[in-house]
Structure 1
Amino acid sequence: MGQIAPDHGAALRPGLDFARPWDSITLARFLRQLPSGITVLHDAGDRPLRWVEPSDIDDPTPYLVDHELILTSGFPLVEHAADAAKVRQFVARLVDANVSALGFGLDPYFSAVPPTVIDACRELDLPLWQIPSSLPFAAIGLAFAKLMEADNARLLRENAEANRHLMRCVGSEHPEQEIVTVLAHRAKAAVQLLDQSGRLRHYAAPTGLQPAQGQELEALLAQASAAQGAKLVVSESAGHHHLAFPIRPTSTSGARVPPLLGVLQLSFAHQPGAAEHNLMSTALGLLEVVARQRVLGSVAPGQLATALLLDGAESLDSGAMELFNSSLGGALRRAPRVVVAVPRAQPTAQDPSHALTRLRSLLDTKLVIHSGGRFAAITRSEPNRELLDRIEAAGYLAAFSRPADPGHGEGQGVSLATNLRELAGQARGLVPRLLDEGRSLSADQLPQSFSALLPQEAGRQLATHLLGNLLQLPAKRRELYLQVLRAWLDANGSWDATAAAIDVHRNSVRRHIASISEVLDMDLSRAEVRHELFLALRFLP
């Protein structure tokens, strides 16, 4: 339910409540996308809709996020449909959980929505839909997914165009002023760029929109300047949302807190959404690199390009593709990869430009960036043993992604950036295991599974913790229970298949699984519990 709903802060900075790309979906808009046959038994007005969730448990509210459409067959109310008080309690829990609407499906338990449900929804003002038996709940979920996908596609197109405009600003005579102007126009916000002392350097705003001023601006600047690292500061007044973001170098030699290069301040007349956030993130990256060019000299343009390719750019035109290819060594027929390099020992306080130069040479690429004590690079070099030995001799452990899809490597710039961001996530995902095993790794030499990404020692610790009660049993009983549990999970919960696999009567299997559930204090009927146990057993010695 709520656990599998799209995380509304996953792509955003912690602590912020930016609207997601699909937050424009409402009950009325969604209802228009559904097949005919749904009857609105109570209309309490249009409401936001963030997720669609079938549920037939007595109380789903602990698992919900705000603004869900709950679909039920009425099973929780089968024995209480005539009890108005119990039905009202059920509906009240949904209202308290901020559910947007209740969809009541007909058949197999009810041929019509019980009057007690209709009365409770009307009394508590919860929208109520009657779902005909001809419309499966799965079809409703698929319709919502398609609507989300359409909104995401629109957002990606808009982001790609806006990011292209922002990136072109870097080559202009006054890049910072151009970035501020484009950001103000695209994000529909008042934007001001201030220096380390809070003095205004550049400003742009749509007609009629004012930025933060006076004491409010001073308070924002003070909080942003004092923030550790790149922390966004938010305030709201008179319906306006004011954001301030410190611009700091990603790293600095020996300093605990990187020096402040400036502050970017934006004011919105509406709650900023995911589109505005993406624009702001790209602009901040560009402003930071422009400010740092004097610090890192000739390696700054390569870091700029790498940062945009791995974190910001949505597409590349033919000219950008030509520059990209000329930034990488090796034959064009080799597909690019993303590499994350981690120092083998605690890094000393030194200028990172030295390490950047060394890795550019080792990986035969100009596209290397230093961030958070690690290095990320785009290269055509293949992770053979000779190259890995050279990287480790230089004092680093490296995680190589798989090569980019063949269609992305030669002239397909529209999709290259998206592919590189996926490869960057792939390489970063190997880092915990790389650190655990103390050796360089390549994704194409590992199986494509979640368990392959988890460090072995960490996996063993988690397995021992999860199965602790069972592992403390006497040896004979412990081995029996482990054998039964493995076979039962491998058989996907089939009693007959488990019995045949370990030559035990099916009734005995049932008793053993019940005992295992009691020993572990876990509900083995839940899919997520079975999944955790399945993985844990793979890590036991």
Structure 2
Amino acid sequence: MPDPAVPPTPPVALSALLAREDLGLRQIAGPKDTNTVIHWAHTSEMADPYPYLLGGELLLSAGVHIPEAAGSGTYFDDYVSRIVAAGGAALGFGLAPVHDTVPRALVEACDTYGLPLLEVPPQTTFSGVARAVWQLMAQARHAELRRVTEAQQSLAAAASRPDPVRAVLRQLAQRIGGWAVLYGPEGAESASAGRAPDGQGPEAASAGRAAEATAAGRAAEIAAAGREPGDVVRGALAELAAVVRPSGPGTPTSATDTAAGTHLAAYALGAGQGFVLGVAAPHRDTGDHTIASVAAVLLSLLTGEHQSGSGAARSSALVRLLLGAEPEAVAPLLGSGGWLVVHGSPDAQPCDPVAAAALGAALGSPLVDLARDVVRVLVPADREPAPQPGWTLGVSAPATARDWPAADTQAARALSRARATRAPLHRHGTHRPALTDLLSPGEAEAHARALLAPLTPPLAETLRTWLSLHGSWDRTAVALAVHRNTVRQRIARCAALLGTDLDDPDVRMELWFALRHGER
């Protein structure tokens, strides 16, 4: 059976539940391992609970399902083995009203299969045990959220200090109680902080089981060749970092493994930078991944600056623009090639500067403009924007610096289209040969201006959006963030000013042609 899925809440130590004096629980069989944890409590009187378990449960039973002759056969062995096979963490057996004592054969079966067995006294209800589990989970969750919040604040403060890359690594290593290392684009260690791995974590005794993973398996072979455990961990972490270093569309952005009893994790930084954050710790707590992910975002921004000196180039470009230079003259300072304009709208309004910077880092560009409700990002055309969780994106066609204003308009309209269709990302249509290519651009634009002259810009934009959405009142209202009755009134006004029937498909086609050429 695959490893059981665990819920997004911290597990509860079985020892913590046993320590609750109000419950009066007593462990009478199975290993008394202080590392045993449970993820939830579940009551069942089924003779075979396997189909109803997800894994990690404290299964509670009063023994209603036990037949009278169970002690003389294999009933208890079969029962306990099925719980273990389903991933159950422990079994709680309630005394009264069915049984006055825990069946001896059940105790022996739990010892045989290594399943902790708890005796639940008559005065303790199963619902009381389940409530205690959830209370302990809530306490653990609160403590974990506080720990993660404090870590995020300390990492953000570290990023503003002198030598920010090493300051962030030091803070990360301190928060996870291990070692943090930054690998450069070529795979060499660029900077590190914390306690160097020695391969002596609490799970070192079970490293053989972890050897089923690729990197851990290689680490075990290296150890067998006579290398020190710390060298094994370093080598395995470097190999794990190579796995997430950008090499193609299918490259993972993060990966985890175990070597010589030490937990390993690697995180790719930014888009195409080549830097990787590696983490090694003797244990892995629930919030460690969140803390390391925050550090990875900060390091993505910092390494992007250090790698290319783009910060100084951007400042130079801004100064030259303010002093009167043309956009195409300063564009080479920002990079070569074409550009895409991306408009992003956060699902949770309003957007803050940290979220805007994170979007820019995810898209692979530090050129970010934060407006009231939309973030604009200027992205090199060779970096294909992908949908981002929590964002709705509109992407322009590739453009040179001279055409940035037109690309900005395209991105805005693509974002409106994405909102209307509830798509995470919409791209402005690429140009392809069409009948309109038979007309000269000058004649087409002159016709568009003459045809649309009676319309004000708000009316023209409403008409363009309405036509692009095939006359849908509701979707147009969503795209323009107005009431559907407002859309109806504007379209009726357009029909009156143009003196035409907007239900006629020929009229719609001509107006769409004019609107497309009028936006150039």
TM-score (norm 2): 0.52
For 2:131 and 2:13, locate their aligned partners in 1 and report how far apart those are by CA, in whole Å: 16
State the distance in 1 between where 2:96 and 2:150 align.
49
Q: What is the rounded CA distance, in whole Å, between the counterparts of 1:362 and 1:59 in structure 2?
A: 58
Q: What is residue 240 of structure 2 aligned with on the other side?
A: 220
State whether residues 22 and 50 of structure 1, in contact with CA within 8 Å, keep that contact through their aligned partners in structure 2. Answer: yes
After superposition, the Cα gap between the structure-2 partners of 1:173 and 1:207, relative to the gap in structure 1 and judged at 3 Å, is: same
What code does the residue aligned with 2:386 have? G
- Amino acid aligned to 2:297: G
SS in 1 for 2:418: strand
Looking at structure 2, the residues matched to 55 and 170 of structure 1 have their Cα atoms a distance apart, in angstroms, of: 51
What's the secondary structure of 2:74's corresponding residue? Answer: helix
What secondary structure is seen at the aligned counterpart in 2 of 1:274?
A: coil
Name the SS of the counterpart of 1:198 in structure 2: coil
**Residue in 2 aligned with 1:8?**
6
Q: Which residue number in structure 1 is paired with residue 135 of structure 2?
A: 146
Q: CA deviation at 1:144?
A: 0.6
Looking at CA atoms only, which structure, 1 or 2, has the larger radius of gyration?
Answer: 2
Q: Which residue, 289, 292, 303 being the options, matches 1:280?
A: 292
Counterpart secondary structure, 1:69: strand
Select which of 270, 280, 284 maps to 1:267.
280
1:61 Cα deviation after fit? 1.6
Q: Give, in angstroms, the shift of residue 37 of structure 1.
A: 4.1
Does residue 188 of structure 1 match 2:209? no
The answer for the alignment partner of 2:254 in structure 1 is 232
Q: CA deviation at 1:33?
A: 1.6
Task: Kindly provide the CA deviation profile for residues 66-124 of structure 1, in whole angstroms up to 9, marking residues without a partner as x.
Answer: 44221012122145545532233212222333433221223443343334434433444
1:373 maps to amino acid: P
Cα deviation code 1:365-422 (max 9, x no counterpart)? 79999973348579xxxxxxxxxxx9667544339xxxxxxxxxxxxxxxxxxxxxxx
Q: 2:60 aligns with which of 60, 63, 71?
A: 71
> 2: CA distance between counterparts of 1:175 and 1:291?
10
Structure 1 contact 80–87 (Cα < 8 Å) conserved: no
Structure 2 match to 1:492 = none
Question: What is the percent sequence identity of the aligned residues?
Answer: 22
1:94 and 2:83 equivalent?
yes
| Structure-2 change in CA distance of 1:157 and 1:440 (3 Å) | farther
Corresponding residue number in structure 2 for 1:137: 126
Q: Which SS does the other structure have where 1:265 is aligned?
A: strand
1:32 to 4, 7, 19: 19
User: Residue type matched to 1:263 in 2?
Assistant: V
In 2: Cα distance, 1:394 partner to 1:285 partner: 25
Counterpart of 1:223, as a letter, is: V
SS at 2:287 equivalent = helix
Q: Is the CA contact (8 Å cut-off) linking 1:261 and 1:291 kept in structure 2?
A: no
Which residue of 1 is the match for residue 336 of structure 2? Answer: none
In structure 2, distance between residues paired with 1:128 and 1:217:
39
Secondary structure of residue in 2 paired with 1:169: helix
Residue 105 (str. 1) matches residue 94 (str. 2): yes
Corresponding position: 1:290 with 2:312: no
Match of 1:248 in 2: 270
Secondary structure of residue in 2 paired with 1:33 = coil
Amino acid aligned to 1:159 = V
Alignment check: 8 A CA contact 1:66 1:98 kept: yes
Of 398, 404, 416, the match for 2:419: 398
Q: Deviations over 1:285-324 (max 9, x none)?
A: 11112334579979x9xxxxxxxxxxxxxxxxxxxxxxxx
Name the amino acid aligned to 1:128. L
1:43, CA displacement in angstroms?
A: 5.1
The whole-number CA distance in structure 2 between the counterparts of 1:261 and 1:111 is 65
Query: In the aligned structure 2, how far is the partner of 1:394 from the partner of 1:38?
Result: 59
Q: Which residue of 1 aligns with 2:373?
A: 363
Structure 1 distance, partners of 2:231, 2:77, is 48
Bigger relative CO (Cα 8 Å, ≥ 6 apart): 1
Aligned amino acid, residue 201 of structure 1: S
Query: CA RMSD for the aligned pairs?
Result: 4.4
User: Unaligned 5+ residue runs, structure 1?
Assistant: 11-20, 250-258, 301-334, 340-349, 379-389, 400-436, 446-541
Query: 8 Å contact 2:29–2:107 — kept in the other structure?
Result: yes
| Residues 368-379 of structure 1 mapped to structure 2, 5 A cutoff | 372-374=386-388
Q: How many residues align?
A: 326
Q: CA deviation at 1:149?
A: 1.1
